[in-house]
Chain A
Amino acid sequence: MTDATPSTKSRASGALTVEDLKVHFGGSRTLFAKGAALVHAVDGVSFSVPAGKTFGVVGESGSGKTTTALAIMRLVPITHGRVILGDTAISDLEKEELRAARRRFQIIFQDPYSSLDPRKRAGAVVREPLDLMQIGKPAERDGMVAELFGQVGLRPEQRALFPHQFSGGQRQRIGLARALSTRPDLIVCDEPVSALDVAIQAQILNLMAKLQRELGLTYLFISHDLGVVQHICDQIAVMYLGQIVEQADRISLFTNPRHPYTKALLAAVPTVHGNKRDRRSRMRLKGDPPSPINLPPGCRFASRCPMAEARCREASPPLEDRGGGHRVSCFLV
């Protein structure tokens, strides 16, 4: 875990760069109906992840974490910006080129119940990408699937079972095996342990760390559990309403949070070290985040920010490096 650099070969092809990514939903008119309001789900997100590292994304519900993940996976249309994996601009690929490149980036989902086709056996689920992308010879694929099952801690004979016959944690292992089947460079993990019991969470997190060490994988790790993020991520970005408001390495972000939202977020998480008395003294945010449809001008956090000033409501603070790669977007920092 401590050292996530690949033990076998160098994998520069796993470096991920996202440049000014925007994903807007709705707004366009269709043939008969008037278009829905424009939702700025992701609104100018940039970051880069070195190969073999884990990049965490945290933030309020609806802040655009999943949409960022889906855009990188090319599963929602990208409105603007570029996504580059290794030396391939995956945001520019179309049709067959995109299909071929999909081998290199895979995804695992939050819900272990809806992410596996209930009508396919576990083995067929893991084998599907191999068949679709024609990886290996057909006769070898069964053996490859069996090996993948072993790799994620399932017994190879469990290939013949259907998803509903597995527990949540086991299903997440199947999801991992499916993602690993194409030997990807990048795995996008959208809340991979949020739906699991705490005891099972640890099993999956340890497995993910081990696979990263062995295979030199790059992870984009989305979660709302800050404890998990702190444990597994090397770099962390905090999102608020479609934008990154703060980004830093794990030590710097947690020991020295600088954006008011990050501070409030860290203060809100109850921990086993805390107790009834000192919870009272912590900073509290009021209200709910505004909707991503009618965005106010200026800083998007201004409506809830305890430190907001007049200028915050006029111009947007830029996301600037405040030393050591600790990027913050706030006028008062």
Chain B
Amino acid sequence: MAVATDPLLSVKDIVVDFKTRYGIARVLDHVTLDVNSGEILGIVGESGCGKSMTALSIMGLVPDPPGKVTSGSIKIGGMELVGMQLDSLRQIRGKDIGMIFQEPMTSLNPVFTVGEQIAESVRLHENASPKAAMDRAVEMLKAVDIPEAERRARAYPHQLSGGMRQRVMIAMALACRPKVLIADEPTTALDATVQAQIFDLLQDLQEETGTAIILITHDMGAIAELADAVAVMYAGRVVEKGTVDAVLSAPQHPYTKGLITCVPHLEPDPPVERHELMEIPGVVPALTELGKGCAFAPRCGEATEKCSVEEPQLLATGDKHLTACWVAQQERAQ
């Protein structure tokens, strides 16, 4: 697995700490990710494991205070973002990296038309005339398959359906042709049929323009059908990552295995006999109370003595496949 070129976006050993009532919470703990151009990277994990925070730290939007990027580096096309001046960072946001937020209704301004909002984000980054910016807005709305784009550009967010609002968000994020698009659970509020349309749109985009996409989700199915590579997060750490084929067909971290087996998957040909679902016992630990060992140890069925004493590092356990688990690493060694 020779690294031919530098990745487009490279996140290295990012640590984000939050001050809370109960002490310091390490919300991201040495998160390392690479995204190549034209690639879709999926990030999965339970609620609160730091998926959105990873996205926010790339955007330079970690709320400070109470949060703080304590160490690490984030590079896009070789340019370091950590510690960059706010002004330059603003230029990068939207122009180099676009983001679609979790909740489309709250991230659109209800008092402007969607066309105005897209045009505004164009004008923030390029000195286009109002007319040209509006034309671009309509063009973007067409690009995300909104019917009657000229008319819809004059609509207010509440006049559009959830699926259309999410398309508007995508159009806005894409208006300045960013190299990287971060989509934070872009379809959680949408119906399955509309979700499929949005996923198609993301896939077209990646194939046609070579945009790199980070897709945050908790749906392993979406990862399987959309992503090229996947990172599984738990309690602020990446516990397993690799190509989708490798991770999904042969998961090695007990948490990943659990995530895959505890979900009842839709079968085209369901068996008559129904079995009990696998469970991951317990709940995600509070980030302020992590011990020194593996964060998953209290819930892990394969835990050994070493697990609660020493934290496993993310090491290769296969071809293009890394796992942070003592047991998996041992198996690999043998």
B67 in the interface (beta carbon within 8 A): no
Q: A254-B270, A272-B221 are in contact. Are A206 and B279 (CB under 8 A)?
A: yes
Q: A273-B224, A274-B221 are in contact. Are A202 and B263 (CB under 8 A)?
A: yes
A201 in the interface (beta carbon within 8 A): yes
Beyond the given A231-B264, A251-B272, A288-B161, please list 8 additional residue pairs across the A-B interface where CB-CB is below 8 A. A60-B193, A197-B47, A202-B277, A202-B278, A206-B276, A266-B268, A271-B224, A276-B203
- Across the two chains, which residue of chain A brings its CB closest to B47? A197
Q: A265-B192, A284-B200 are in contact. Are A202 and B225 (CB under 8 A)?
A: no
Q: List 26 A-B contacts (CB under 8 A).
A: A1-B276, A197-B284, A198-B46, A199-B258, A201-B262, A203-B279, A203-B281, A224-B191, A226-B266, A227-B265, A230-B270, A254-B268, A265-B193, A266-B266, A267-B196, A268-B196, A269-B192, A269-B221, A270-B222, A270-B226, A271-B224, A271-B225, A274-B221, A275-B225, A275-B244, A288-B194
Q: A2-B274, A61-B191, A198-B259 are in contact. Are A272 and B248 (CB under 8 A)?
A: yes
Chain A residues, Cβ within 8 Å of B163: 288
Chain B residues, Cβ within 8 Å of A167: 283
Chain B residues, Cβ within 8 Å of A285: 193, 196-197
Identify A274's interface contact among B200, B224, B270, B281, CB under 8 A: B224
The 8 A CB mask of A186-207 against B (1 = contact, 0 = none) is 0000000000011111110110
Q: A60-B191, A199-B259, A206-B279 are in contact. Are A269 and B268 (CB under 8 A)?
A: no
B267 in the interface (beta carbon within 8 A): yes
Q: A197-B46, A199-B258, A285-B193 are in contact. Are A271 and B266 (CB under 8 A)?
A: yes
A209 in the interface (beta carbon within 8 A): yes
State which residues 224-279 of A face B: CB under 8 Å: 224, 226-228, 230-232, 250-251, 254-255, 264-276, 279
Q: Are A251 and B265 in contact (CB under 8 A)?
A: no
B150 in the interface (beta carbon within 8 A): no
The 8 A CB mask of B167-208 against A (1 = contact, 0 = none) is 000000000000000000000001111111101100100000
A56 in the interface (beta carbon within 8 A): no
B218 in the interface (beta carbon within 8 A): yes
Nearest CB on A from B106, distance (A): 17
Chain A interface residue count, CB cutoff 8 Å, equals: 49
For B163, B220, B245, B276, the residue with the greatest tally of chain A CB atoms inside 10 Å of its CB is B276
Chain A residues, Cβ within 8 Å of B276: 1, 206, 209
Nearest CB on A from B286, distance (A): 10
Q: Are A279 and B262 in contact (CB under 8 A)?
A: no
Nearest CB on B from A281, distance (A): 12
Identify A231's interface contact among B195, B196, B277, CB under 8 A: B277
A274 to B223, CA, bound (A): 10
Q: Are B264 and A227 in contact (CB under 8 A)?
A: yes
Identify B224's interface contact among A197, A231, A265, A275, CB under 8 A: A275
Chain A residues, Cβ within 8 Å of B260: 272
Q: A231-B264, A272-B220, A288-B161 are in contact. Are A199 and B279 (CB under 8 A)?
A: yes
A169 in the interface (beta carbon within 8 A): yes
Q: A202-B263, A230-B264, A255-B270 are in contact. Are A270 and B199 (CB under 8 A)?
A: yes
A228 to B221, CA, bound (A): 13
Q: A206-B277, A279-B203 are in contact. Are A270 and B219 (CB under 8 A)?
A: yes
B280 in the interface (beta carbon within 8 A): yes
Q: Are A269 and B266 in contact (CB under 8 A)?
A: yes
Chain B residues, Cβ within 8 Å of A209: 276
Identify B218's interface contact among A198, A267, A273, A274, CB under 8 A: A198
Chain B residues, Cβ within 8 Å of A276: 203, 225-226, 228
Chain A residues, Cβ within 8 Å of B259: 198-199
B21 in the interface (beta carbon within 8 A): no
Nearest CB on A from B144, distance (A): 14
B275 in the interface (beta carbon within 8 A): yes
A271 to B264, CA, bound (A): 10
Q: A199-B46, A205-B277, A230-B270 are in contact. Are A272 and B265 (CB under 8 A)?
A: yes
- Across the two chains, which residue of chain B brings its CB closest to A253? B270
A224 to B225, CA, bound (A): 19
A281 to B164, CA, bound (A): 23
B87 in the interface (beta carbon within 8 A): no
State which residues 213-229 of A face B: CB under 8 Å: 224, 226-228
Chain B residues, Cβ within 8 Å of A203: 279, 281
A328 to B47, CA, bound (A): 39
Q: Are B283 and A255 in contact (CB under 8 A)?
A: no
Identify B221's interface contact among A1, A169, A199, A270, CB under 8 A: A270
B305 in the interface (beta carbon within 8 A): no
State which residues 36-87 of A face B: CB under 8 Å: 60-61
Those 4 A-B pairs whose CB atoms lie nearest each other, nearest first: A231-B264, A270-B221, A268-B196, A202-B262
State which residues 44-64 of B face A: CB under 8 Å: 46-47
The 8 A CB mask of B131-160 against A (1 = contact, 0 = none) is 000000000000000010000000000000
Q: Are A226 and B225 in contact (CB under 8 A)?
A: no
For A1, A265, A271, A286, the residue with the greatest tally of chain B CB atoms inside 10 Å of its CB is A271
A224 to B194, CA, bound (A): 13
Identify A200's interface contact among B147, B161, B245, B283, CB under 8 A: B283
A288 to B203, CA, bound (A): 20
Nearest CB on B from A55, distance (A): 16
B273 in the interface (beta carbon within 8 A): yes
